[in-house]
Structure 1
Amino acid sequence: MNLALSSHIGFRYWRARKANGFASFITFFAVSGILLGVAALIIVSSVMNGLEGQLKQRILGAVPQLTVHSQAPIEQWQSKIAELTKLPGVIGVTPSISNQAMIQSSSNISAIGVYGIYPDFEHNLLASMEHSFNGSFEQLEAGKYRIVLGSLLARRLGVSPGDKVRLLSGEGVIYSPLGPVPSQRKFVVAGVFEMGSQVDANLAYIHYEDAQRLMRQKPGQVKNLRFYLDDPFNAANLSSDVIAEFSKDGLEVTTSDWRDSYGHLFGAVKMEKNMMSLMLSLIIAVAAFNIVSALVMMVVDKTADVAVLKTQGLMTSDVMGIFMIQGSLNAIIGLVCGLLVGIAITLNLNIILNTFGISVLGAGQSLPVQLEWSQMSLIVLGTLLISFFATVYPAMRAAGVQPANALRHE
């Protein structure tokens, strides 16, 4: 195949004024369709990536991303934490204890998840809670029985820092002649945090040792370790490495991760993102069909030219190359323009929405946007493949032209 010759003739055909105005009209819509499809796919994918990233920060930053559970106490847990932090993908490991409990104020009662923490070890947790206010986690001191509540939970209970609440734990129940009596203790609200997600309504933090006393556990023992990961979605892959580290010490452990509580939410977000991408990809597919129509019309219009070229020795593969290059040029123009338009709108999306007075998430809130270059590469590759296969049939039609039949009436 003479690629240089095919490229030259294909470019000349593409640049020349079309004799058939309808073919030019279809070509214009094919290029416009690819442009719109690529731009829309970039914009919507970037917004969905931003929403997913925001959920990861606001929810998975506050709840355990990966937790190790041991039946026996973990001996020398400080040195074990130092070893586990060296695992790839792990940015922090801290002692943790959790329990489902009831919290009661003077005006309301609610079911919550309680986490016992050592504030000195929770640098990653504190870093994720950028919007904590009205107190801080540093006020959680052993024996002081202080608690930090989510903002929605505090509002529901009608409490603020300094108020007292009663915490009732299902673990540590004692049995009396009157029946089971849950473990309970009064706590003082030390602060309120806000992550901007549903964890604000059902999460509370207390000191690790206070949690052990509440649950009537032996003080000083550590049986659970909480992991902070650079990517929480890798929790399942990391689980086997963590278990192997404990197996070296002869300690049998089990693991749980964020998917147990929030897997359905992120699964729904992922499915929605994939379906949106599929729907927008159909725009590119429709545009590719328009390329087929335009090229078929071009083949019919240039039948005599193709016949003359073949009588002069042009090979079948060269003829196919001419029309495949012509169709690919239309796709490349639409792809490049779509990339430029999509990236420009994505980077300035909130400015554009504010200019037109459009508020998608409500007043004062902006859409999170996150461009991923790996996703952009898939969009480019997919568009080129779809466009390439769209040119195959018209090119084969052109290559099948018989010079004798085509020139019989010329």
Structure 2
Amino acid sequence: MNPALSCFIGYRYWRARKSNAFASFITFFAVSGIFLGVAALIVVSSVMNGLEGQLKQRILGAIPQLTIHTQAPLSDWQKVKQQLLSLPGVKGVEPSITNQAMAQSASNIQAVAVYGIFPDEDKALSPLATNTFNDAYTALQAGKYNVLLGSELARRLNVSSGDKVRLLSGEGVIYSPLGPVPSQRTFTVAGVFEMGSQVDANVAYLHYSDARRLMRKSADDIEDLRVFLSDPFLAPSLSPAVSTLLQQQGINAEVSDWRDNYGHLFAAVKMEKNMMSLLLSLIITVAAFNIVSALVMMVVDKTADVAVLKTQGLSPFGVMLVFISQGSLNALVGLVLGIALGVTATLNINGIMSTLGMQILGVGQRLPVILDPSHLGLIASGSVVLTLLATLYPAVRAAAVQPANALRYE
């Protein structure tokens, strides 16, 4: 058997004008279905990837991605830092402290998550510094009792740079005859930051020493380490490795990551992306069924030709290959056109929407897009596999043709 001969015959059948107009009509819509399905899947998956990447940057860039809390102050945190930096995916380790508090201004009060940091060390690792107005990030100095607020939090508190805000900490509570008294201190608003996400409404930054004093703890002790990752989504796989490393050093610590507070949000985004991909994949599936219909009619139309080919020595597998190659060519045309349109539309989607006068995220905001080559490969390979599976039934039907019965009345 010569596979090249079978593929050549399939190519000739594919190029020849169809005698059955209805089969040609179904073939056209099958190719169009694959073309539109692949293009839509590329555009939607790229936009969803962009939205997920934007959330990753705007939310996970402003909060601790992985946190280590020890039961006792670390005697040599620099040694632990060097060991953690040896783990793949870890790009930085700095002391940090997290606390839940209430921020009170003259006109309002809001619940906030307070993060104590060392601005000089943190500036090189966190994108927060580049999203702070008037370089207020550097105003966080030990003993100055300055605070950096999210833009939405500052708006709700009705404060601006230079105003006073009282922070009441849930830690450091003392008990008096009148009941528990929370630790509190007045801070000066050094400035605001804006990440463009929900962290702008509930996050405040202090210098590490000031945050420790707010909680009535020693400013020199290091009990919490903030681990910066090259990819925040590595946190689930890195957490066990970090715990194991600390146990080997005899350090009793609790390791947590961003999933504790924001895991549900990214899980919802991932589920939405998967559901959108599944729904759009159904378009390609329907197109594959149209290929089945078109090939079945082609097999019926070419029954006599198949019988002649078999009498001339073409094996059943060779006959199958004729129709598999024919159906695959239809899918290949739709796939190539779909990838070309999808990639072009994805790279120019903001210009296209601007031309059409459409605004999805609001005036002046561009739709984030990440064109992932691995997703392109997955879409292309999935479409090819689905199409090959769709061609198997008509090919098997063609291979089962009996020459004697097919040529009896010829």
Same fold per superposition (TM over 0.5):
yes
Distance in 2 (CA, whole Å) between partners of 1:133 and 1:405 is 84
Question: Match for residue 354 of structure 1?
Answer: 354
Is residue 350–residue 366 contact of structure 1 (8 Å, CA) maintained in 2? yes
Secondary structure in 2 matching 1:62: coil
Which runs of structure 2 are paired with 1:369-380 in the superposition (5 Å)? 369-380=369-380
Question: Match for residue 102 of structure 2?
Answer: 102
Question: Match for residue 137 of structure 2?
Answer: 137
Is residue 117–residue 207 contact of structure 1 (8 Å, CA) maintained in 2? yes
Q: 1:255 to 1:137 in 2, by over 3 A?
A: same
Is residue 150–residue 194 contact of structure 1 (8 Å, CA) maintained in 2? yes
Matched, 1:195 2:195: yes
Whichever residue aligns with residue 15 of structure 1, its letter is R
Unpaired stretches in structure 1, ≥5 consecutive residues: none
Question: Match for residue 26 of structure 1?
Answer: 26
Matched, 1:50 2:50: yes
Distance in 1 (CA, whole Å) between partners of 2:29 and 2:406 is 30
Distance in 2 (CA, whole Å) between partners of 1:257 and 1:286 is 42
User: 1:148: Cα distance to partner?
Assistant: 0.2
Is residue 65–residue 227 contact of structure 2 (8 Å, CA) maintained in 1? yes
Question: Match for residue 403 of structure 1?
Answer: 403
Secondary structure in 1 matching 2:131: coil
Distance in 2 (CA, whole Å) between partners of 1:72 and 1:95 is 14
User: 1:135: Cα distance to partner?
Assistant: 4.3
Matched, 1:121 2:83: no
Question: Match for residue 166 of structure 2?
Answer: 166
Is residue 146–residue 190 contact of structure 2 (8 Å, CA) maintained in 1? yes
Of stretches 20-29 and 126-135 in structure 1, the one that deviates more from structure 2 is: 126-135
Question: Match for residue 280 of structure 1?
Answer: 280
User: 1:178: Cα distance to partner?
Assistant: 0.8
Unpaired stretches in structure 2, ≥5 consecutive residues: none
- 1:315-348 Cα distance to aligned partner (Å, 9 max, x none): 1111111001000000011111111110010001
User: 1:124: Cα distance to partner?
Assistant: 4.3
Q: TM-score, normalised by structure 1?
A: 0.98
Whichever residue aligns with residue 16 of structure 2, its letter is A
Is residue 160–residue 189 contact of structure 2 (8 Å, CA) maintained in 1? yes
- 1:70-119 Cα distance to aligned partner (Å, 9 max, x none): 00111121232233223210111110111100010011110100011111
Question: Match for residue 340 of structure 1?
Answer: 340
Question: Match for residue 93 of structure 1?
Answer: 93
Is residue 92–residue 125 contact of structure 2 (8 Å, CA) maintained in 1? no
Secondary structure in 2 matching 1:323: helix
Q: 1:190 to 1:128 in 2, by over 3 A?
A: closer
Distance in 1 (CA, whole Å) between partners of 2:32 and 2:247 is 60
User: 1:211: Cα distance to partner?
Assistant: 0.8
Distance in 2 (CA, whole Å) between partners of 1:95 and 1:374 is 37
Of stretches 328-337 and 132-141 in structure 1, the one that deviates more from structure 2 is: 132-141
- 1:356-395 Cα distance to aligned partner (Å, 9 max, x none): 1111111111100001111111111110110001000001
Secondary structure in 1 matching 2:133: coil
Is residue 173–residue 181 contact of structure 1 (8 Å, CA) maintained in 2? yes
- 1:228-283 Cα distance to aligned partner (Å, 9 max, x none): 10111111211122122222321121100000000000000000000000000000
Whichever residue aligns with residue 392 of structure 2, its letter is V
Secondary structure in 2 matching 1:148: strand
Of stretches 279-288 and 210-219 in structure 1, the one that deviates more from structure 2 is: 210-219
Whichever residue aligns with residue 150 of structure 1, its letter is G
User: 1:405: Cα distance to partner?
Assistant: 1.0
Matched, 1:314 2:328: no
Q: How many residues align?
A: 410
State the percentage of identical aligned residues: 67
Distance in 2 (CA, whole Å) between partners of 1:391 and 1:124 is 56
Distance in 1 (CA, whole Å) between partners of 2:339 and 2:367 is 20
User: 1:215: Cα distance to partner?
Assistant: 0.4
Secondary structure in 2 matching 1:136: helix
Question: Match for residue 182 of structure 1?
Answer: 182
Q: TM-score, normalised by structure 2?
A: 0.98
Q: 1:129 to 1:390 in 2, by over 3 A?
A: farther
